[in-house]
Amino acid sequence: MWRYLTGLNQVDFKEELNSIGGELPQPAPIIGIDHYSFIKATGVSFTQLNFIKEHIKGFDEVLVHVPSDGGEKCDLFFSFYNASRKRLQREISGVAELGELQQLLKNISANHWVYFVREKELKIDRTLIMGILNITPDSFSDGGKYFSEDSAYARAMEMLEAGADIIDIGGESTRPGSKPVSIDEEWRRISGVIDRLIKNETVIISVDTYKSDIARRALGSGVHIINDISGLTFDPAMAKVISDSGAAIILMHIKGTPRDMQKNPSYRNLMDEVYGFLYRQCRFAKENGIGQIIVDPGIGFGKRAEDNYELIRRFGEFKALGYPVLLGASRKSFIGFGLNDDQIDRMIGSITSALHGILNGANILRVHDVPETRQAILMADAIENLKAIT
């Protein structure tokens, strides 16, 4: 597996190198680290290694390679100046043995996708807002507020008018420690709102469920996206349901289940594990006929506060998967941890997290506070793109 590493601080740099058993070379790009790009690969053949050695000459590189798998393969880590990336792409173009590296370098530049979800166009060429609609009595932030069909529908319309591009409807809380509800109860909670919203020809509806029976019913009602917190791992029938429908899937990383995910989660290498899971599940989805994929690293799902901070800081690495990336950080507990006040209103912390996500390549923001997030997106876009008129 090849990874493109970005957003590294000096601790990250050392940890990534140490994770393959490598030693810090001298001289190493630890000073001015922001000016470098890094590639890490595991299970690489020595033939591939020799091609890498040949083609990165002259890129001011640091190359470390460590034998693995009994010496038949190796793990490698190399660096090059950010400004040299396009030149590296040209240099390795057409080298069949480095096809995965070529694709990875191409993926990180992608910023435009057009999906046709149930014959409706979903264009992802700017940062989209996914408004959260929890029709539950026990969700961590807004449980019970929109539990009736009328209040839930009114909330959905309010978010659409405020600028939401997608409405994500959930009928079962997945907060830490939560217990599953029955399929019939979950469907009872969400079906009426879906039937009312689907009449709006402009709305894109996502349903937050990991159960294939709920997904099948929702898709039968016209829903466009299934948001599966398990990344197609909890229900073996889910992949076929999505494939048969022509809907899009959101593949999220989770460690454990909602009931136990926050019981001392730990990682040997956070980014390796989260990226590796999404890499494998994207391949699994494609092999099962699903082409319209969105990936979500799963902020707060089996992660410590410091894990969530690292995921957001290094969010740009997930672009290398080649699909739009969703950030769902809104109002989660790591925000209170960072502000040293678990009772504080988390909106400002949520907006700050969203802005970091935007700067690091997030394509979709899943949020509670739609109008405030939209203002932040517009301001970030203005700072990044608008020029003075002379």
Using one digit for the tens of pLDDT, what is the confidence trace for 119-156?
899 999 999 999 999 998 855 555 556 668 999 999 99
What's the gap between Cα 359 and its chain centre? 14
Assign 333 a pLDDT band (cuts: 50, 70, 90). confident
pTM comes to 0.93
The number of beta carbons lying within 10 Å of the beta carbon of residue 163 is: 16
Assign 384 a pLDDT band (cuts: 50, 70, 90). confident
| Spatial strand order in the sheet of 293-296 | 293-296, 248-252, 225-228, 204-208, 166-170, 128-134, 364-367, 326-327
pLDDT(259) > 60:
yes
Smallest CA-to-CA distance from 315 within 284, 268, 346, 270 is with 270
pLDDT(358) > 60:
yes
pLDDT(317) > 70:
yes
Domains, in order of start, for the chain:
2-107 (no CATH), 113-385 (3.20.20.20)
Taking the C-alpha atoms of residue 342 and residue 18, their distance in angstroms, rounded to an integer, is: 34
What percentage of the chain reaches a pLDDT higher than 70? 92
- Residues labelled as active-site residues: 332, 366
Average pLDDT over residues 301-317: 95
Q: What is the pLDDT of residues 4-47, one digit of tens each?
A: 998 888 889 889 988 988 876 655 555 567 788 899 999 999 99
What pLDDT is stored for residue 98 in this prediction?
Answer: 95
C-alpha distance from residue 343 to each of 264, 312, 346 (Å) = 22, 22, 8
